Amino acid sequence: MKAEPKQVHIAKDFAHGAPLINCRFNPQGTHVFATAEDRAIIRWSLADGKKTEFKGHDSWVRGLAFSKDGKALVTGGLDDTLIWWSALAEKPEPIHKVKAHAGWIRALDVSPDGKLLASGGNDRVLKIWNLVDAKPVRQITGHELDIYSVMFHPDGKHLLAGDLMGHIRQWEITTGKEVRKFEAKDLHTYNGGQRVHYGGVRSLALSPDGKHLIAGGLHKGTNPLGAINEPLVMRFDWANQKVLKKHITDGVKGVIWRTLFHPDGFVIGASGGSGGGYLLFWEADKDKSFHKFKMPDTAREMDLHPDGVTLATVHYGRKLRLSKLAAKPKK
């Protein structure tokens, strides 16, 4: 089925007893997983809506990553801990539990060959792990402020990390050496009066052809403590690191929590904040979004199903929503 962003609509929702934080579909597309403020990880079957909870973290869970075969799930929490699980177990129990960072774990990613896991967070250290046995492989230092996003390059040789300062650093995995840096300074604000750094690179994605890198976050952060800001996605030329576009949208207050490329080439962003929740859509050659879809309440994360048509978003209002990039079925 061809995706039709302008026809996007909410098709289904799943409820939980606490506000939700993050979400991911498993690689096979049979289940959707979410994390919540009650410290739970939740799994819903897309076939029948069956709900299963995973318990093991002592704080909120921000990171979710799967092995390529979908059998293993790794979660990273604000309790500094990584936990390995059997993703589809009837009664899930932790398999490995590792005190991984000296601070919140904000982001996880799995290497293209499925052998390595990368983690990053508030201690400003990138760590690489063996995905099978949870053993440490390497740690990389060099970020000035907290790491908010991590992404393996499809070549399997490089790892990218975006931080609070608006720097995106490309690292060589085997040596831990920095290769180069993309400057996403528009995504960072320092407020001298409030003495806070604000913004950061919240999400990273590479285009299907490998030519463009996008970074999501916020700009116009005039009042950090009052959450006054607007969503922004910056588009870079992968070859020369130059900024090609600054994707914006009119009339929305918030932050891009996740941005990704659709296989058809357009960009999707999930924005949440003081202005509510939105799904935003951009073409490669345009600054302004060609469509925006307002959600019932603020969105906090997003993922795209392998079918290319179904989007999951999680919300402060205690629901995970499934939206379809297609016309509503006729009654």
CA distances to 3, 246, 309, 328 from 285, in Å: 19, 10, 22, 28
Q: How far apart are the C-alpha atoms of 138 and 116, rounded to whole Å?
A: 10
Q: What does the pLDDT average to over 113-124?
A: 98
- pTM across the whole model: 0.97
Q: What does the pLDDT average to over 72-96?
A: 98
Q: Is 193 exposed, middle or buried (0-12, 13-18, 19+ CB in 10 A)?
A: exposed
Q: What is the pLDDT of residue 225?
A: 67
Q: What is the pLDDT of residue 231?
A: 97
Q: What is the pLDDT of residue 190?
A: 84
Q: How far apart are the C-alpha atoms of 314 and 21, rounded to whole Å?
A: 6
Q: What is the pLDDT of residue 330?
A: 86
Q: What is the pLDDT of residue 193?
A: 79
Q: How far apart are the C-alpha atoms of 3 and 324, rounded to whole Å?
A: 8
* Res. 181 pLDDT band, cuts 50 70 90: very high
- C-alpha closest to that of 220 among 242, 195, 250, 240: 250
pLDDT reading at 54 higher than 90? yes
Lowest mean pLDDT among 142-146, 187-191, 316-320: 187-191
Average pLDDT, the chain: 96
Residues 6+ apart with CB under 8 A from 304: 25, 260, 262, 268, 310, 311
Domain ranges across the chain: 33-99
Residue bearing the bigger pLDDT, 196 or 157: 157
Structure tokens at 172: 């060589």
Question: What confidence tens digit (pLDDT) does each residue in 230-283 have?
Answer: 999 999 999 999 999 999 999 999 999 999 999 999 999 999 998 999 999 999
Question: What confidence tens digit (pLDDT) does each residue in 204-236 have?
Answer: 999 999 999 999 999 988 776 667 799 999 999
Q: What is the pLDDT of residue 228?
A: 76
Q: What is the pLDDT of residue 191?
A: 79
Q: What is the pLDDT of residue 226?
A: 66
